[in-house]
């Protein structure tokens, strides 16, 4: 089915995007797509390098008569978020994405689509191969591992580029120009536990929280969607108190930057209580479904087939874990004072997973105000310190401060108004665009971010609106034609 997208317009962009869907490229597994991008540049006869961390850089000279224009760096990331519904056996390291047309949208069957940031990559490749575009000097920067650590952006060295303007093609609302983004930091927590023998007279059981929408932990956190980890631990707190259940294993969430859609627990409870527990689970499900009726219509909480277990987590660690998860901040913490409707600070309680005698908890904190992010980190640390866990903060990256006097911003606003009859909205984004890091290495860059309309990135519901891809492409071409003179 995925080949049908090759017939869409603009054909040059959709053909490149189709090629990307055929190349497995989950974060940290980008070898094949790096090789693809490198060959793409070399086959065009363009100067192409792969830097020491794996970023691909391709340089295209200006078209005749445009040599005096400011140089433009077109930037996007090669990796994609590997999220699939539990009903599919998709292997993101081997299988292509099955993209298809669904009305006005292109989406994928039971997996993430990879439009984030495949559409930006595809458009940049189309610029590189185009023979009929007018543009000044072009430098394409394809970074790696944006989704799980911004490894490519962190590893970029100075002195590789000659351009003055960075166009990041990784935002997700056509008709909007982004001039700022949130910084972020991971909180990685480890509980050390003692695995004890299963109490006598206890029988095994399991619970599954499924059917949540999930989504991007920055872009979608304002939507008030449920967090599978928080929901499951609310129930575990109740069952621990009422039935003295003992947890054998837990597995909630899968990616630090995705809202957790599913969470599973295997537990032991006193014999003869199974029917009562199942009844309580149904009552709890009714409560949560009512609470989240507007955002999670397919949420389900039910008994499940338990995994094999020979031991349970010691009671003290279990109690500390449950209390800490319920006390940990989650969701939107503060809205922006300067930009109405923008989340300033948030946290996603992304992963809770047991592995033998350790339990790992991972949160991703975001904020456009670095001091606010630091204050949130103090709160999170206090919670897990009290619970006796170890906590490390890693992967911190700065935000991107808006520059409303940006020359490329002024140019693009004028172009968009002239071409489409309206002024584009100027926004900042509550997500970790690479601009903050890249601007630290190249402080001379005038930066802006734009893209087609993408919905529900980082989830199997991800989709890109077809007509906005054409507008995005037309806008990009017209902008390159009108880049300011040096």
Catalytic residue annotation: 79, 146
Phi, psi for 335 (deg, rounded to 5): -90, 155
DSSP one-letter code for 3: G
Following DSSP, what letter does each residue of 294-313 receive, concatenated? TT-TT-EEEE-PPPP-SEEE
SS (H, E, C) 139-185: EEEEECCCCCCCHHHHHCCCCCCCCCEEEECCCCCCCEEEEEECEEE
**Residue 263 is encoded by which pair of tokens?**
């969470």
Whether 388 and 193 have beta carbons less than 8 Å apart is answered as: no
Using an 8 Å Cβ cutoff, are 317 and 191 in contact? yes
CA distance 282 to 286: 6
Specify the residue for token string 């913490």: 333
Instruction: List the Cα angle 43/47/48 in 5-degree steps.
Output: 75
Please state, in angstroms and rounded to a whole number, the distance separating the CA atoms of residues 480 and 482: 5
Residue 74 Cα to chain centre, angstroms: 20
Question: What distance separates the 2 farthest-apart alpha carbons in the chain?
Answer: 84
End-to-end CA distance of the chain: 47
Please say whether the beta carbons of 214 and 258 come within 8 A: yes
Tokens coding 240: 């621990």
Task: Give the Cβ contact number of residue 315 at 10 Å.
Answer: 16
How many CA atoms, within 13 angstroms, populate the side-chain half-sphere of residue 76? 25
Per DSSP, the residues of 392-406 read EEEEEE--B---TT-
Q: What are the start-end ranges of the H helices in 393-465?
A: 407-420, 435-441
Question: From the CB of residue 223, how many other CB atoms can be counted at a distance below 10 Å?
Answer: 14
Q: What is the Cα–Cα distance from 297 to 304, expressed in whole angstroms?
A: 20
Contact residues for 390 (Cβ-Cβ < 8 A; gap 6+):
189, 190, 191, 192, 384
Pairing of strands 463-465, 105-108: antiparallel
Tokens of 272: 């003869």
Tokens 């922006």 locate to 336
Which tokens hold the place of 380?
A: 């999170």
């Amino acid at each position: 089915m995925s080949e049908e997208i090759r017939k869409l317009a603009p054909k040059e962009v959709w053909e490149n995007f189709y090629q990307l869907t055929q190349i497995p490229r989950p974060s940290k597994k980008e070898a094949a797509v790096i090789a693809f991008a490198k060959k793409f540049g070399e086959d065009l006869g363009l100067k192409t390098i792969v830097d020491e961390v794996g970023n691909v850089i391709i340089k295209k000279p200006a078209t005749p008569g445009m040599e005096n224009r400011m140089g433009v760096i077109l930037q996007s990331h090669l990796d994609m978020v590997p999220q699939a519904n539990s009903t599919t056996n998709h292997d993101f390291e081997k299988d292509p994405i099955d993209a298809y047309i669904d009305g006005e949208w292109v989406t994928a069957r039971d997996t993430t689509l990879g439009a984030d940031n495949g559409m930006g990559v595809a458009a940049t490749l189309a610029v590189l191969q185009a023979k009929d575009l007018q543009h000044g000097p072009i430098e394409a920067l394809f970074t790696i591992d944006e989704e799980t650590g911004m490894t490519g952006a962190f590893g970029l060295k100075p002195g590789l580029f000659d351009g003055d303007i960075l166009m990041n093609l990784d935002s997700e609302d056509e008709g909007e120009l982004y001039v700022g983004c949130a910084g972020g930091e991971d909180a990685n927590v480890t509980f050390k536990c003692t695995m004890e023998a299963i109490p006598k007279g206890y029988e095994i059981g399991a619970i599954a929280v499924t059917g949540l929408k999930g989504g991007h932990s920055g872009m979608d956190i304002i939507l008030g969607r449920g967090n599978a980890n928080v929901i499951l631990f609310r129930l575990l707190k109740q069952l621990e108190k009422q039935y003295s259940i003992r947890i054998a294993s837990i597995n909630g969430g899968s990616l630090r930057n995705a809202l957790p859609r599913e969470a599973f627990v295997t537990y032991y409870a006193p014999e003869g209580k199974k029917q009562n527990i199942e009844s309580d689970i149904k009552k709890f499900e009714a409560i949560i479904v009512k609470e989240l009726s507007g955002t999670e219509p397919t949420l389900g909480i039910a008994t499940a087939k338990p995994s094999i277990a020979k031991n349970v987590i010691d009671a003290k660690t279990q109690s500390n874990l449950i209390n800490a998860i319920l006390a940990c901040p989650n969701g939107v913490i503060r809205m922006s004072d300067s930009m109405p409707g923008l989340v300033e600070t948030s946290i996603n309680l992304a992963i809770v997973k047991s592995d033998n005698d350790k339990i790992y908890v991972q949160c991703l904190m975001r904020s456009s105000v670095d001091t606010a992010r630091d204050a949130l980190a103090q709160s999170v640390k206090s919670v897990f310190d009290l619970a006796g866990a170890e906590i490390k903060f890693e992967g911190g990256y700065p935000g991107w401060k808006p520059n409303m006097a940006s020359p490329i911003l002024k140019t693009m606003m004028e172009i968009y108004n002239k071409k489409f009859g309206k002024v584009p909205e100027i926004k900042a984004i509550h997500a970790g665009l690479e601009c903050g890091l890249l601007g630290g290495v190249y402080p001379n860059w005038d930066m802006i971010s734009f893209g087609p309309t993408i919905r529900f990135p980082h989830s199997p519901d991800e989709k890109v609106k077809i007509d906005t891809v054409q507008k995005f492409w037309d806008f990009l071409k017209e902008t390159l034609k009108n880049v300011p003179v040096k």
